Amino acid sequence: MKSQPLWIPVDALRLFGVLHEPVTRARAAVVVCAPILHEYARSHRLFAVLAHELQVRGVAVLRFDYRGTGDSEGDDDAFSMRHAVRDAGKAIDVLRARFRDVPLIMLGVRVGALIAAAAAIEGRADRLWLWQPVVDGAAYLQGLREFEARERQSPMRYRIAKRADAIDDASLMGFLCSRDMLDELAGANWSDAGIARSSVTLLDAMVDGRSPAHARHVPLATELSAWAEQLDMTRIALGPIRALAAELADPVVGA
Amino acid sequence: MSIDHIVDLGDDRFGILSRSGEAADSGVCVILFNAGFIHRSGPFRLHARLSRQLADAGHAAFRFDAPGIGDSIGRSDQPLVKTMRAGMDALERQFGYSRFVVGGLCSAADLGWQVAIADPRVVGLLSIDGLARQGWSYRIARLRRALRKSPLRRLGSLLRRARTAPRIRVGDGDLRDWPAAGIERTQFASLVERGVEQFHLFTGGAGYFLSRGQFRETYGRAVNAASVVFHHWPQCDHTFFAESDRRALIRTIGDWMAQRFERYHGPPNR
Chain B residues inside the 8 Å CB shell of A176: 243
DSSP classification of residue B15: E
B243·A168 Cβ contact <8 A = yes
Chain B residue with Cα closest to A76: B45
CA distance A13 to A63: 17
A5·B70 Cβ contact <8 A = no
Could you tell me if residue B25 is inside a domain?
Answer: yes
Chain B residue with Cα closest to A36: B44
B36·A16 Cβ contact <8 A = no
CA distance B43 to B51: 13
- CA angle B104–B108–B113, rounded 5-degree value: 90
Contact call for residues A164 and B235 (beta carbons, < 8 A): yes
Could you tell me if residue B113 is inside a domain?
Answer: yes
Average pLDDT of B142-156?
80
pLDDT tens-place values along chain A, 255 residues long: 689 999 999 999 999 999 999 999 999 999 999 999 999 999 999 999 999 999 999 999 999 999 999 999 999 999 999 999 999 999 999 999 999 999 999 999 999 999 999 988 888 999 999 999 999 999 999 999 998 888 888 888 887 766 655 556 688 999 999 999 999 999 999 999 999 999 999 999 889 989 999 999 999 988 898 876 665 556 678 899 999 999 999 888 775
CA distance B212 to B202: 9
Chain A residues inside the 8 Å CB shell of B207: 159
Q: How many domains does chain B have?
A: 1
Lowest mean pLDDT among A190-199, B93-102, B169-178: B169-178
Q: Which residues span the domain enclosing B121?
A: 2-265
pLDDT confidence of residue B155: 76
Q: How far is CA B110 from CA A50, B15, B34, B98, B107, in A?
A: 30, 20, 11, 21, 5
CA distance A152 to A173: 10
β-strand partners of A8: A15
pLDDT confidence of residue A178: 93
Average pLDDT of B84-90?
96
Chain A residues inside the 8 Å CB shell of B43: 41
Chain A residues inside the 8 Å CB shell of B14: 5
Give me the half-sphere count of Cα atoms (radius 13 Å) on the Cβ side of residue A106: 34
Please give, rounded to a whole number of angstroms, the shortest distance from the CA of A136 to a CA of chain B.
24
Could you tell me if residue B33 is inside a domain?
Answer: yes
- The minimal CB distance from B73 to the residues A48, A151, A234 is found for A48
CA distance A28 to A168: 44
CA neighbor of A62 nearest in space, from A103, A29, A13:
A29
Could you tell me if residue B270 is inside a domain?
Answer: no
Average pLDDT, chain B: 90
Please give, rounded to a whole number of angstroms, the shortest distance from the CA of A74 to a CA of chain B.
10
- How far the first Cα of chain B sits from its last, in Å, is 15
* pLDDT band, very low/low/confident/very high, at B123 (cuts 50, 70, 90): very high
Chain A residue with Cα closest to B13: A3
CA distance A192 to B231: 54
B24-25/B264-265 β-pairing: antiparallel
Chain A residues inside the 8 Å CB shell of B41: 65, 70-71
CA distance A153 to B237: 11
DSSP classification of residue A207: -
In sequence order, the 6+-apart residues with CB closer than 8 A to the CB of B152 are none
Lowest mean pLDDT among A231-245, B90-104, B155-169, B223-237: B155-169
DSSP classification of residue B199: E
Please give, rounded to a whole number of angstroms, the shortest distance from the CA of B156 to a CA of chain A.
15
* pLDDT band, very low/low/confident/very high, at B164 (cuts 50, 70, 90): low
pLDDT confidence of residue B83: 93
pLDDT confidence of residue A235: 67
B204·A159 Cβ contact <8 A = yes
CA distance B175 to B156: 27
Domain at B116, CATH number? 3.40.50.1820
The interface predicted TM-score of the complex, written ipTM, equals 0.93
pLDDT confidence of residue B264: 54
A158·B235 Cβ contact <8 A = yes
For chain A, the residues whose C-beta falls within 8 A of a C-beta of chain B are 1-3, 5-7, 14, 16, 18, 41, 44-45, 48-49, 52, 65, 69-71, 73, 76, 151-152, 157-161, 163-165, 168, 171, 174-176, 233-234
Domains of chain A, earliest start first: 3-136+190-247 (3.40.50.1820)
Please give, rounded to a whole number of angstroms, the shortest distance from the CA of B149 to a CA of chain A.
12
Chain B residues inside the 8 Å CB shell of A73: 4
A165·B36 Cβ contact <8 A = no
β-strand partners of B10: B13
Spell out the long-range contacts of B252-260 with Cβ–Cβ below 8 A and sequence spacing 24 or more: B252/B201, B253/B50, B253/B54, B253/B126, B253/B199, B254/B53, B254/B54, B254/B57, B256/B197, B256/B199, B256/B229, B257/B26, B257/B28, B257/B30, B257/B54, B257/B57, B257/B59, B257/B101, B258/B57, B260/B124, B260/B197, B260/B227
* pLDDT band, very low/low/confident/very high, at B159 (cuts 50, 70, 90): confident
A45·B234 Cβ contact <8 A = no
Chain A residues inside the 8 Å CB shell of B237: 157-159
Tens-digit pLDDT profile for residues B9-46: 988 899 999 999 776 788 999 999 999 999 999 999 99
